[in-house]
Structure 1
Amino acid sequence: MGMTQPGEVDATTTGTVRRIPDPPARDARRRTRTGFSGPVVLEQVGDVDWDLREDLRYTSLAGREYLVPARSGTDGASVPRVFSWLIPRSGRYLPAAVMHDYAYRRRVPNGDFEYREADQVLLEGMRRLGVPFVQRWTIFSAVRWSCLARGYRGWRGWWRDAAQILLTTLFVLPVVTVPALGVGVSLLTVLFFEIASWPILKIATQMSGSEKFVNPPTVSPST
C-alpha cells in the first residue's frame, strides 16, 4: 500500500469511495483552531456527482465554524469541459469546493448568509489548503461572475470585490481563450464521430445477432 501525499486521491480505497487527506496547515500554531477538520470522504453517485460520507468541518480565521453534514451532495469544482484542463473537477481545492457547494445549495437559500460570504469562505479555505494564488483567484472570480446571474442577492456586495475580479479576469482570459477554443473544437469533433458511428455499430450488432450493447453518445458540457 503506497503513501498518499496531502491533497491527492487515495488510490487504495475500494469502489467509488475516495478519501482526500487534509493538507497540513501552514501555521502549526493555528492547526488546532482553524482550517479543515480532516479528510474528505466521497462516494460517487453519478457521472459528476458525489455524496459526502463523513461530516466536514471548517473553522475560519475569524473563528466561525462551518459544517457540511454527511450525505450532502457535491459535483466538485463546477467547471465547463473547455476549461477543465486548467481547473480539474478535483484538486487540492476540493474540500473548499465541497463546502462551497453546500453553502450555495442549502445555507444561502435558507438565509444563513449571502453569496459573497460563501465565496469569501471558499477563497480563504483554498488559501488554507495551499492552492496557488492565480488558481484560487481564478476560481474565486469565476464564482463571483456567476453570481451576477443569481438575481438581487447575487448582485449584493459584488462591487466590493469588483477591482480584484476585473484584474484577475483581464489577466486570465487572454491566456485561457485560445486553448479553450481548441479544446472545444476537439470535443465537438469527437462528439461528431461518436454520433456518426453509433447507428453504424448498432446496425452491425443487430445484423450479426450479437448481444453486445452499443452505448449511445452523450452530450454534456460538464463531463
Structure 2
Amino acid sequence: MVRGDGKKKPFKPEPERFYDGGVDACEEEERQEAPPNSSYGVRIELLRHADGGRELFRMQRRIAYNDRTYGVLVVPPSTGDFNSDLTSVPALFTWLVPKTGRHLPATLLHDGLHHPPGDQTYISSKGFTVRRVEADRVLRDAMADAGTARIRRWLVWSAVATATMLDGSGTGWSKGLMLYYRVTAALTVLLILALGIYASFDLFDAGIPTLPWMDSRPWSVALVAGLSGAVVILGLALEFWSKTHKRYYRVTAALTVLLIAALGIYAPFHLFDAGIPTLPWMGDRPWWVELVGGLSGAVLIPLALALVFWGPFRIAGAVVGVSLAALLYPTVALAFLTAVYQAVEWLTASWTPKWAKPLGCVALVGLLALFVLFITA
C-alpha cells in the first residue's frame, strides 16, 4: 500500500479482516442463504471424508475476508461441492508448515478462490477478477492477518508462487511467458539440487561414484552401454507410470526427468574419462573453509538466479532457492527415515503374530552384539 506522499506504508496485520461468511442456499437440504456477518469472527466448520484413500474436508460455512485491494472475498461460492486438503504440504515438510494452524483460514481462502478447479472467474466486491497470481498475493496477506509468523508465510507464499509458475493455468499469461516461467523455475530447482549434491562430494573429498554399466570399458562399448542404460531407465519409468495413481504422475515424471538429466550430464565425463570439475567456491581447501564456501554459494547462487531470471517472482525465487539449498540435507535424511518406516510398516502389515516375536528377539540380540563389539573394540 502507498501513502499520499508516495511512500510505501508498513504492512500491519488486521485480524478483523476475517469474519463469518455465512452459508449458501441449498435446495436439496432446504437451506436458506445466510449472508456474511462482520460482527462475528471467522468460523471454520469442516466435514471430513475420504476420496480414494485421500483425506479431504468439506466446508460447512463460508469464510469472508476483506482484502486491501479487491474488497470483500467470500469463499467458497458453493459449499456443496467444495473440497480441500487443508494446507497442501508434502508429508516431508509438515514439520515446517503443518496442515493446520493459524494459517488455516488463509489457505482455505486461497483454495476457495480457485473453486471449482479451472474456473478463474471469481469477482470481488469491487469488481476485480482475482486470478491465480493475485490469489497467491491474497494468501500471503491473509496469513499475516491470521497471525502467521513472517518466515512461515513467506515460505508458503514462495512455494505457492513457484507452483503457479510451473503450472501456469489461471494466470492469463501468454504461451511464451508461461513457457519461460516454467523453464526458469524448473531449471533453477534442478541446478540447486545438482549443486547441492555435488557440493557434498566436494566437501568430504569423496570420489564421484562411477556408472557400473560404463566403467572401465573402451569408449565405443561405454557409449553403447550408456545408451542402453538410458533406454532401460526410461522403460522402467514408463512401466512405473502405468501402475501409479494419477495424483503421483507429476512427482513420478519430475523424478524421472531429474534422474535422466543427471545421468545424461554425468555420462559424458565418464565416457571420455574426464575429471569432474570442482566447485570454484569450495575447491581443495580445509573442510571448514569449504563448508563456509558451500554455504555462501547456497545463498548467493539462488539469489543471483532469482534476481536475473525470475522477474516479478524474484522474491519467491530467492526464498525457494535458498530454502531448498539449506534444507537439502534434512530433507534427504527425513526421506530416508520415512522410506525405512514405510518399508517396515508394509512388511509388518502382512506378518502373522507368531513371526513377530522371534524376529524381534533376533534383531535385539544382533543389536546387543554390535553394541558390545563397538564399546570393546
After TM superposition, the score normalised by the length of structure 1 is: 0.69
Task: Report Cα offsets for 1:85-135 as digits up to 9, x if no partner.
Answer: 101111110001111112223276243332101101101100111211111
Structure 2 counterpart of 1:102: 112
Q: CA deviation at 1:202?
A: 8.9
Of 132, 146, 156, 2:163 maps to 146
Distance 1:121 1:57 in 2: 13
Aligned positions, number: 176
> How much is the aligned-residue C-alpha RMSD, in angstroms?
2.7
Of 54, 57, 60, 1:50 maps to 57
Structure 1 counterpart of 2:142: 125
Q: What one-letter code is carried by the residue in structure 2 that aligns with 1:35?
A: F
Indicate the structure with greater helix content.
Answer: 2
Q: What one-letter code is carried by the residue in structure 2 that aligns with 1:68?
A: V
Distance 2:58 2:169 in 1: 30
Whether 1:165 and 2:316 are equivalent positions in the alignment is: yes
Structure 1 counterpart of 2:244: none
Distance 2:60 2:170 in 1: 31
Distance 2:170 2:75 in 1: 22
Of 9, 12, 18, 1:35 maps to 18
Residues 177, 104 of structure 1: alpha-carbon distance in 2 compared, 3 angstrom cutoff? farther
Indicate the structure with greater strand content.
Answer: 1
The structure with the larger Rg is: 2
Whether 1:194 and 2:345 are equivalent positions in the alignment is: yes
Q: CA deviation at 1:171?
A: 3.0
Structure 2 counterpart of 1:77: 87
Q: What one-letter code is carried by the residue in structure 2 that aligns with 1:129?
A: A
Task: Report Cα offsets for 1:156-180 as digits up to 9, x if no partner.
Answer: 3875532111221233223322222
Residue ranges of structure 2 left out of the alignment (5+ in a row): 1-11, 21-41, 123-129, 182-309, 356-377
Distance 2:114 2:45 in 1: 20
Structure 2 counterpart of 1:220: none
What is the aligned-residue identity percentage?
20
Contact 1:108 1:114 in 2 (8 A): no
Q: What one-letter code is carried by the residue in structure 1 that aligns with 2:134?
A: E
Residues 200, 174 of structure 1: alpha-carbon distance in 2 compared, 3 angstrom cutoff? same
Of 47, 65, 81, 2:72 maps to 65
Contact 1:49 1:75 in 2 (8 A): yes
After TM superposition, the score normalised by the length of structure 2 is: 0.42
Distance 1:108 1:57 in 2: 22
Distance 2:161 2:14 in 1: 28
Q: What one-letter code is carried by the residue in structure 1 that aligns with 2:121?
A: G
Q: What one-letter code is carried by the residue in structure 1 that aligns with 2:46?
A: L
Whether 1:86 and 2:237 are equivalent positions in the alignment is: no
